Structure 1
């Protein structure tokens, strides 16, 4: 979502062509006098979007902010419309969105935020690092970190843990190990301390109509600058070490960073130190928080549904026995995979995705103006009553192969879609399924907290604990 003013082309003819439809042409909530839907979106944007779809349909016009600072934007909820925005007309819906601009300024112009020729060059250079064969080689790092969690759970005095904190720690250690190899300990401590400060700063700025310049010496700006400098310095140090090591005659580094610093081809050249750092920071953001969120809610849902948890544990015993799961087991654990996909339906890590229309476009029977801020919301589409029967119910059977084949491609899109689909989709599935298999085979989980409040930030954020009671099995 965007709470900033959309640009309007200059000139009377272009103004008529690009003028937003009248409020009654595209339906939407009236909101409060003067500020429109601003308070609803600030208090609970996910709930506001869900209510807008239920009351006004699959393309909704929202206004937020007082006169002079008012933002008008459009939410698209039907899968056919989502496909247009992310897939078939992706070139017309760009990442010229306030949130992406703030991410770009804080984390650099990596794959998540780059566009046009920059994006295509980066994608060609980075894609070989995410082939199925290469990603499958990271399985041992995943199970090593998951085994460490189960060992800590077995030796711990407290049998109640918060899955939000536990999975954040597990996902961060895993991605740091895969990115940095042996530098995992130092990296994890710095990232754990710095990343939340930067994330909070980015989200606050993205959704504030009047922004204080970043170079003003306010306490928030100074704190952001301090942690950003520290995180950049960590990455730069490790990158320099990897470049030196890669030049050695017998160099044999298989961590992702070593592969990044040596990636290149005749057409695109190589990534310089700044570009490598920007990719690393985006991988840390996208590969850490999103996976942590998905795993935490998958485990919490299974803790609330003991019969399903028992069924999955029986599958794990049957397929794995006492051995460590490997990448080859990903296709041998269909029930666990179905449960994980259902968790991502109910709690998509990228709950709301923003774009900006270049030209006026008809989407799902409604004409969106040029320059319009447009959002698609997995949080809402994944709960669409026309697509999902009893949508709030946890039901892994929804992802049986025959039922998946019957649904629209964009009825479920936790990894986005089209030319900007998540490059790490296979990695996320591999990491999550193998880690969940390791944890569930070791422990039975019973929910302490039944409901976990959430909010939309850069990624979906749990705003309360997701505690479970552990019992070793």
Structure 2
């Protein structure tokens, strides 16, 4: 049946995922949101409405699962889909109004100031810092009890240390412990509030509000201290984020300015730092963890990757130029990011009524994209749950729509750090696989959608040095 939206847009009525009386699919989404989105696509196709919550507080989610729909929302009609939902507001209130959360002129100004710091040449200069932190993490595996390491925990540590070193230079130790302690408290708070039908004010002195406020105060304080020292030249942190003096990212951010956009003040600098810490370590850690987990379960693919690494690198430390020389390792990483995208769900709000995939989407609708589902779409990914790096051979990639795989988002708000993420991941994987063989201990790793994809339990592997 064709329906109108009141704005002249006509399209088929969006099919609805069946839920329970009164609360709809609320409990399904709370217990297994990723599985719920998959079932919605399997039962009803590429545009599905999911209702969740009691009358008066009910959320109506318009879920879009096709590559063409993702391209429309993120790229061709991106101006019509904003980051105005409650979840993004909670992230904004906790981690600041940086590139991930800002909008309109704020976002454009920030992007113009930050973009020169993320050119390929600039990012390639951080390869040495990534290699150093990877070597440091690997050194600790010699004493792993029983030769077993939790790759999820270890890759989170590696990614955090790498991004902290690149951001802060020699001030790594001052930040890593605080971030490691405070981020879980804040992210749990954001998730609980972001997906709740109603919230009490943050200012009320409840135990949860006080715990979150204390964690934010501690995190903000350490960032503000380093920023203050850096801007006055009193700190000694600059100089080890990359290959040259004064080249860590915070120093560059503090110096970024233009005649049109001015420069970042202290609070704006902190917002960018917090967003880079959040997005820059959790996403890369997810990709690395699952690449190792999948290789541990697939010894033939692991051996093939190791053979390529040995042939290309020998015993030398990998450099940025090696990314193009390690095509199979890159395919492994891309396939891991297909099966386990770090951003499994992306939310937007429609400004005006529109039509997606022949279905009417009203103005004000909460629109959900789910890379978790699109990356398993059987039309583009045969046997979608099978690990197969050959899906990303050049000829295979050329035959698929652009948005059949979009772990970094897309359009004008595509992740500014995607080259850094690939650089870090390929260098780290190359060093890890050259040093250790992996055998999976935990073969089934449950996951859930937080701010990023997260494991709900350990991802343990038995490791053995390649040289015996």
Q: TM-score, normalised by structure 2?
A: 0.95
Question: What do residues 410-432 of structure 1 show as CA deviations (whole Å, max 9, x unaligned)?
Answer: 00000000000000000000000
Q: TM-score, normalised by structure 1?
A: 0.94
1:469 has 2:462 as partner: yes
Query: Which residue, out of 103, 116, 119, partners 1:131?
Result: 119
1:17 has 2:6 as partner: yes
The aligned runs of 1:307-322 (5 Å cut-off) are 307-322=300-315
Match of residue 407 from structure 1 = 400
Q: Which runs of 4+ in 1 moved over 2 A?
A: 18-22, 154-158
Match of residue 413 from structure 2 = 420
Match of residue 35 from structure 2 = 47
Question: What do residues 117-170 of structure 1 show as CA deviations (whole Å, max 9, x unaligned)?
Answer: 000000000001100000000000000011112211124444001111111101
The aligned runs of 1:72-471 (5 Å cut-off) are 72-245=60-233, 252-471=245-464
Cα pair 1:303 1:447 within 8 Å, conserved = yes
* Unaligned segments of structure 2, at least 5 residues: 240-244
Cα pair 1:26 1:59 within 8 Å, conserved = yes
The Cα of 1:247 is off from its aligned counterpart by 11
Cα pair 1:246 1:258 within 8 Å, conserved = no
Question: What do residues 427-470 of structure 1 show as CA deviations (whole Å, max 9, x unaligned)?
Answer: 00000010010111000000001110000011001001110001
RMSD: 1.8
Number of aligned residues: 457
Aligned mates of 2:5, 2:275 — CA distance in 1: 40
Aligned mates of 1:438, 1:421 — CA distance in 2: 28
The Cα of 1:97 is off from its aligned counterpart by 1.2
Question: What do residues 321-345 of structure 1 show as CA deviations (whole Å, max 9, x unaligned)?
Answer: 0000000100000010000000000
Question: What do residues 337-380 of structure 1 show as CA deviations (whole Å, max 9, x unaligned)?
Answer: 00000000000000000000000000111110000000100000
Match of residue 45 from structure 2 = 57
Comparing 227-236 with 155-164, greater Cα deviation is found at: 155-164
Comparing 345-354 with 63-72, greater Cα deviation is found at: 63-72
